[in-house]
């Protein structure tokens, strides 16, 4: 009877030893795995020595690692500055799309070499951080933001130099966003993020611009993100409306026309300014539907005012680059004219210098179609791009709107006066109607009158008005009616 029991005991003991061994092994394994995980979490992986396949330049990871190193050194030694310049080629995709990747690659290689040579004069640290994005770290440059800005200018200048590739004469431009440590950000991630925000801002200013990061930019970009979802619903919820700012002929004191300005009343945040919501509309791809609504509504409201006794009133409508480049602006305007009955010669389209002078076959064709329809083209924010005035004659333009940055203090600022005076004289010689934007004071007005500017727009005469206030403004200003006699 004892024998089976002994065998059973032996079996139990063997099994226990086996289980104990397995558990011990598992525990040792677990401890090893945790130890490995802990060790790996404490040890930063080395930055891969990644180089861009085409240009051979080091990439974003190396740049971040170098920035981190430099910031550590800086924070320990002194508060000397480190600057990050984010260089983004404008519209580079267009080259690939229109001329093919071979030309695009050759251009990218050429520009990267030019930039590397230039950057090399100031810094050892030059990177390619995206397909058409580069970065320069300036280190120990003497704490002078003007130096950083000069480097940015040189970069813009180098990129703008025309180059001949495969028989094509290519003109490029770039935006440079600048972020400085410690004023604009206190760590490497912040420097890159804010340099990219500054780059976005430079892009908005126009081709070939630079911009130094400010906190205001981050607030705007956070606001844009916040409102994006609501913007998608704004058109169908009827939250958009237009205001109109009068343009006054100073010789006759008559209202020549009005500029339609888009407004958005957000259901909970109230009115949001166009410089925040219009870029967001463009980013979301809504500019075509919203732009179409603006064209139609402006034509409808102004044709009603014409019928109510202001037959000569013109309306100027802003058309963004995205809207224009879609290629259907002539049919959008023609449809609005047809539906509202407004005459073509009472419609002006405001396009920025860069759009008018892009000089592609398609854009010249579209401008000519609009001119043939009888619609007038105004060059908006004139002077902020860098086209020469004699280039204007190549395009069917009727109106020049001098940007308000030149009008501000034109009575006390000699260089603004010299620029404005040249623009007015040359504009008139070329047969354009010249409009000064942003006139705020009597003194500015007097200088402009003396220099021969015909049309004035600005707070001095009137802020943008709701359609109801405009109706009242026009009835008080009987001069528009008088001009019809």
Smallest gap from Cβ 462 to ligand C2E, in A, equals: 9
Distance (Å, rounded) from C-alpha 168 to C-alpha 120?
28
262 sits in which H/E element = strand 254-266
Binding mask 390-429 for Ca ion (x = CB under 5 A): ----------------------------------------
User: Max alpha carbon distance in the chain (Å)?
Assistant: 133
Binding mask 271-310 for Ca ion (x = CB under 5 A): ----------------------------------------
Q: Which is nearer to Ca ion, 126 or 382 (CB)?
A: 382
Q: Which is nearer to Ca ion, 85 or 336 (CB)?
A: 336
> Taking the mean position of all CA atoms in its chain, how far away is CA 419?
25
Q: Which is nearer to ligand C2E, 245 or 471 (CB)?
A: 245
Binding residues for ligand C2E, rule: CB under 6 A, are: 245, 261-262, 273-275, 278, 294, 318-320, 350, 380-381, 404, 438-440, 458-459, 464
Q: Does 350 bind Ca ion (CB under 5 A)?
A: yes
Chosen from Ca ion, ligand C2E, none, partner binding at 454 (C-beta under 5 to 8 Å by type) = none
Distance (Å, rounded) from C-alpha 451 to C-alpha 132?
44
Mutual orientation of helices 287-307 and 274-283 as an angle, nearest 10°?
130
Among 303, 318, 340, 462, binds Ca ion (CB under 5 A): 318
Chosen from ligand C2E, Ca ion, none, partner binding at 458 (C-beta under 5 to 8 Å by type) = ligand C2E
Chosen from ligand C2E, Ca ion, none, partner binding at 438 (C-beta under 5 to 8 Å by type) = ligand C2E
Q: Which is nearer to Ca ion, 196 or 358 (CB)?
A: 358
168 sits in which H/E element = strand 168-170
Smallest gap from Cβ 367 to Ca ion, in A, equals: 17
Question: How many CA within 13 A on the CB side of residue 244?
Answer: 29
Distance (Å, rounded) from C-alpha 485 to C-alpha 478?
12
Smallest gap from Cβ 67 to ligand C2E, in A, equals: 35
Smallest gap from Cβ 234 to ligand C2E, in A, equals: 13
Smallest gap from Cβ 372 to ligand C2E, in A, equals: 23
Q: Which is nearer to ligand C2E, 107 or 336 (CB)?
A: 336
Q: Which is nearer to Ca ion, 301 or 348 (CB)?
A: 348
β-strands 314-318, 270-272 pairing: unpaired
Smallest gap from Cβ 176 to ligand C2E, in A, equals: 22
Q: Which is nearer to ligand C2E, 134 or 324 (CB)?
A: 324
- Residue 372 tokens read as 């043939």
The 10 Å Cβ neighbour count of residue 431 is: 9
Cβ-Cβ contacts under 8 Å for 52 (sequence gap 6 or more): 58, 59, 128
Chosen from Ca ion, ligand C2E, none, partner binding at 275 (C-beta under 5 to 8 Å by type) = ligand C2E
Chosen from Ca ion, ligand C2E, none, partner binding at 261 (C-beta under 5 to 8 Å by type) = ligand C2E
Q: Does 353 bind Ca ion (CB under 5 A)?
A: no
Q: Which is nearer to ligand C2E, 318 or 363 (CB)?
A: 318
Closest to 192 (Cα-Cα) out of 61, 286, 332, 102: 61
Chosen from Ca ion, ligand C2E, none, partner binding at 278 (C-beta under 5 to 8 Å by type) = ligand C2E
Among 381, 383, 402, 465, binds Ca ion (CB under 5 A): 381
The β-bridge partners of 261 are 243
> Taking the mean position of all CA atoms in its chain, how far away is CA 225?
15
Question: How many CA within 13 A on the CB side of residue 467?
Answer: 17
Closest to 281 (Cα-Cα) out of 240, 248, 332, 253: 240
Distance (Å, rounded) from C-alpha 400 to C-alpha 434?
5
Q: Which is nearer to Ca ion, 381 or 444 (CB)?
A: 381
Smallest gap from Cβ 439 to Ca ion, in A, equals: 12
Q: Does 348 bind Ca ion (CB under 5 A)?
A: no
Q: Does 132 bind Ca ion (CB under 5 A)?
A: no
Distance (Å, rounded) from C-alpha 370 to C-alpha 377?
8
Smallest gap from Cβ 211 to Ca ion, in A, equals: 19
Q: Which is nearer to ligand C2E, 178 or 278 (CB)?
A: 278
Closest to 449 (Cα-Cα) out of 250, 289, 259: 250
Smallest gap from Cβ 320 to ligand C2E, in A, equals: 4
Distance (Å, rounded) from C-alpha 180 to C-alpha 79?
12
Helix residue ranges, H only, 78-131: 92-99, 101-120
Q: Which is nearer to ligand C2E, 200 or 380 (CB)?
A: 380
Closest to 87 (Cα-Cα) out of 180, 191, 209, 170: 209
Chosen from Ca ion, ligand C2E, none, partner binding at 245 (C-beta under 5 to 8 Å by type) = ligand C2E
Q: What 3-state DSSP class applies to 325?
A: helix
- Residue 183 tokens read as 């004023």
Q: Does 380 bind Ca ion (CB under 5 A)?
A: yes
Q: Which is nearer to Ca ion, 115 or 420 (CB)?
A: 420
Distance (Å, rounded) from C-alpha 199 to C-alpha 209?
9
DSSP label at 391? G
Smallest gap from Cβ 261 to ligand C2E, in A, equals: 4
In Å, what is the CA distance from 408 to each residue of 120, 164, 441, 444? 39, 40, 9, 8
Chosen from Ca ion, ligand C2E, none, partner binding at 440 (C-beta under 5 to 8 Å by type) = ligand C2E
Binding site for Ca ion (CB under 5 A): 318, 350, 380-381, 437
């Amino acid at each position: 009877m004892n024998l089976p029991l002994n065998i059973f005991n032996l079996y139990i003991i063997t099994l226990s030893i086996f289980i104990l061994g397995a558990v011990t092994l598992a525990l040792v394994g677990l401890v090893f795995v945790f130890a490995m995980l802990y060790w790996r979490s404490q040890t930063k992986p080395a930055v891969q020595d990644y180089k861009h396949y085409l240009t051979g330049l080091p990439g974003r990871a190396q740049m971040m690692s170098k920035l981190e190193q430099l910031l550590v050194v800086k924070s320990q030694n002194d508060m000397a500055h480190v600057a990050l310049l984010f260089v983004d080629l404008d519209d580079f995709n267009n080259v690939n799309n229109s001329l093919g990747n071979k030309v695009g690659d050759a251009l990218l290689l050429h520009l990267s070499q030019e930039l590397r040579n230039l950057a090399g004069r100031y810094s050892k640290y030059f990177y390619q951080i995206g397909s058409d994005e580069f970065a320069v770290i300036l280190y120990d440059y003497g704490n002078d933001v003007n130096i950083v800005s000069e480097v940015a200018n040189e970069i813009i200048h180098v990129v703008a130099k025309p180059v001949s590739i495969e028989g094509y004469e290519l003109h490029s431009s770039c935006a440079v966003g600048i972020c400085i440590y410690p004023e604009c950000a206190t760590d490497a991630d912040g420097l890159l993020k804010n340099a990219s925000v500054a780059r976005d801002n430079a892009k908005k200013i126009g081709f070939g611009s630079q911009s130094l990061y400010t906190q205001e930019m981050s607030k705007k970009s956070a606001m844009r993100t916040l409102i994006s979802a609501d913007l998608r619903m704004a058109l169908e919820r009827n939250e958009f409306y237009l205001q109109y700012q009068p343009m006054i002929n100073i010789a006759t004191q008559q209202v020549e026309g009005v500029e339609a300005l888009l407004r958005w009343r957000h259901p909970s945040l109230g009115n949001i300014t166009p410089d925040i919501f219009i870029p967001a509309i463009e980013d979301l791809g809504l500019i075509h539907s919203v732009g179409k609504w603006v064209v139609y509504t402006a034509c409808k409201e102004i044709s009603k005012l014409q019928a109510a006794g202001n037959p000569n009133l013109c309306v100027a409508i802003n058309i963004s680059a995205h809207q224009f480049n879609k290629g259907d602006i002539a049919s959008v305007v023609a449809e609005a004219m047809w539906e509202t009955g407004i005459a073509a010669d009472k419609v002006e389209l405001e396009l920025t210098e860069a759009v008018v002078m892009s000089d592609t076959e398609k854009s010249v064709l579209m401008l000519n179609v609009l001119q043939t329809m009888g619609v007038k083209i105004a060059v908006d924010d004139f002077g902020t791009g860098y086209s020469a005035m004699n280039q204007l004659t190549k395009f069917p333009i009727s109106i020049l709107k001098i940007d308000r940055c030149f009008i501000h203090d034109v009575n006390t600022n000699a260089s603004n006066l010299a620029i404005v005076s040249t623009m007015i004289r040359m504009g008139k010689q070329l047969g354009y109607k010249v409009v000064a934007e942003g006139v705020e004071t009597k003194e500015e007005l007097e200088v402009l009158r003396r220099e021969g500017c015909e049309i004035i727009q600005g707070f001095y005469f009137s802020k943008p008005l709701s359609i109801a206030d405009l109706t009242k403004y026009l009835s008080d200003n009987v001069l528009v009616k008088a001009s019809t006699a």
